[in-house]
Amino acid sequence: MKHYLQFKDFRAEEYAYLFERARLIKRRFKNYERYQPLADRTLAMIFEKASTRTRVSFEAGMYQMGGSVVHLTTGDSQLGRSEPIEDSARVISRMTDLVMIRTFEHTKIEAFAAHSRVPVINGLTNEFHPCQIMADLFTYLEHRAPVGANGYDLGCLKGKVVAWVGDGNNMANTWLQAAETLGFTVHVSTPSGYEVDPKVAGVRSSDCYKVFTDPREACRGADLVTTDVWTSMGYEAENEARRTAFADWCVDAEMMAVARPDALFMHCLPAHRGEEVTAEVIDGPQSVVWDEAENRMHVQKALMEYLLLGRIG
């Protein structure tokens, strides 16, 4: 049994497989073809933080594949009344086939997984957001990679540069793991005090990223420019201090102009126009944020299929 708690839980070759499955599953969806390999399977979704995309993509995806979902939040379950996470894992995993969790400390999802009888998927923790980066990479490949006999050639990611502008948060940590796993480089620019911590990011070496104090320099020559909210969920008390510290880390047309002419812009959403990105950039021709959001569902359908049924074919 496999869990998907961090991006580095899977090898490059598994991502190549998952992206090909996601491509085929997306094509079926677009053609209104029924594909229900998860009939009679149940996904439990546990949300200790708010969500739009993660909930809709997992819930719609599971129903489309013939399964069903149970939606739990801290407020409407015993999780909010101090039932130990280990006991919750033992109980929930006896009645369902798969569990997706969005929570605070990553140690919580690890504790859940350690006591679960079924695969556990990380739907975002303070430290990581692997499903989002899987969707982001799939979106990049869709826009920039040719399709070969075995699907997208992940070799085309080698040597590519992703510019990360903003907070050294769960998304930044996950980008670093993706770069180390798939052989590209992340140019990271954060305000002082909000740096990425390679120990938290969980990368073995610093070869996969370069740090820049000037966000414009981070964007120079980039194939993809990406950012995220200045204040992640759980850090709301720091909001005012962050607005001041991050004022120069707004992705604007000037930053996009020094990236490669064919650079894409991504944002996991929700976005705040005028804070981490200008409306001109996020609503402009280089932005692929709506494909990126939609692709959450297609890659997660491939992920659920893989965790429950193994490789197809």
User: Judged by CB, which is closer to ligand NVA: 156, or 233?
Assistant: 233
Count residues contacting ligand NVA (CB under 6 A)? 9
Q: For the CB of residue 289, give the shortest distance to ligand NVA in the complex, in Å.
A: 12
For the chain, the maximum distance between any two Cα atoms, rounded to a whole number of angstroms, is: 53
Q: Which residues are catalytic?
A: 102, 129, 132, 228, 268, 296
Give alpha helix (H) positions in the chain: 12-30, 53-64, 85-95, 106-114, 130-144, 170-182, 198-201, 215-219, 239-245, 253-258, 279-282, 289-309
Pair 246, 227: CB distance under 8 Å: no
Interface pick for ligand NVA out of 228, 275, 276, 305 (rule CB under 6 A): 228
Q: Which of 164, 144, 167, 162 is nearest to 154 (CA)?
A: 144
The Cβ-side half-sphere exposure at 45, using a 13 Å CA radius, reads: 23
Q: List the structure tokens of 223.
A: 């194939």
DSSP 43: E
Residues 257-286 that bind ligand CP (CB under 6 A): 268-269
232 scored as a contact of ligand NVA (CB under 6 A): yes
Choices 51-59, 241-249, 251-259, 281-289 (CB under 6 A): range interacting with ligand CP = 51-59
The residues that touch ligand CP, with contacts defined as CB under 6 A, are: 51-54, 124, 132, 268-269
The residues that touch ligand NVA, with contacts defined as CB under 6 A, are: 124, 169-171, 228-229, 232-233, 268
Residues annotated within the binding site for L-ornithine are 170, 228, 232-233
Residues annotated within the binding site are 51-54, 78, 102, 129-132, 170, 228, 232-233, 268-269, 296
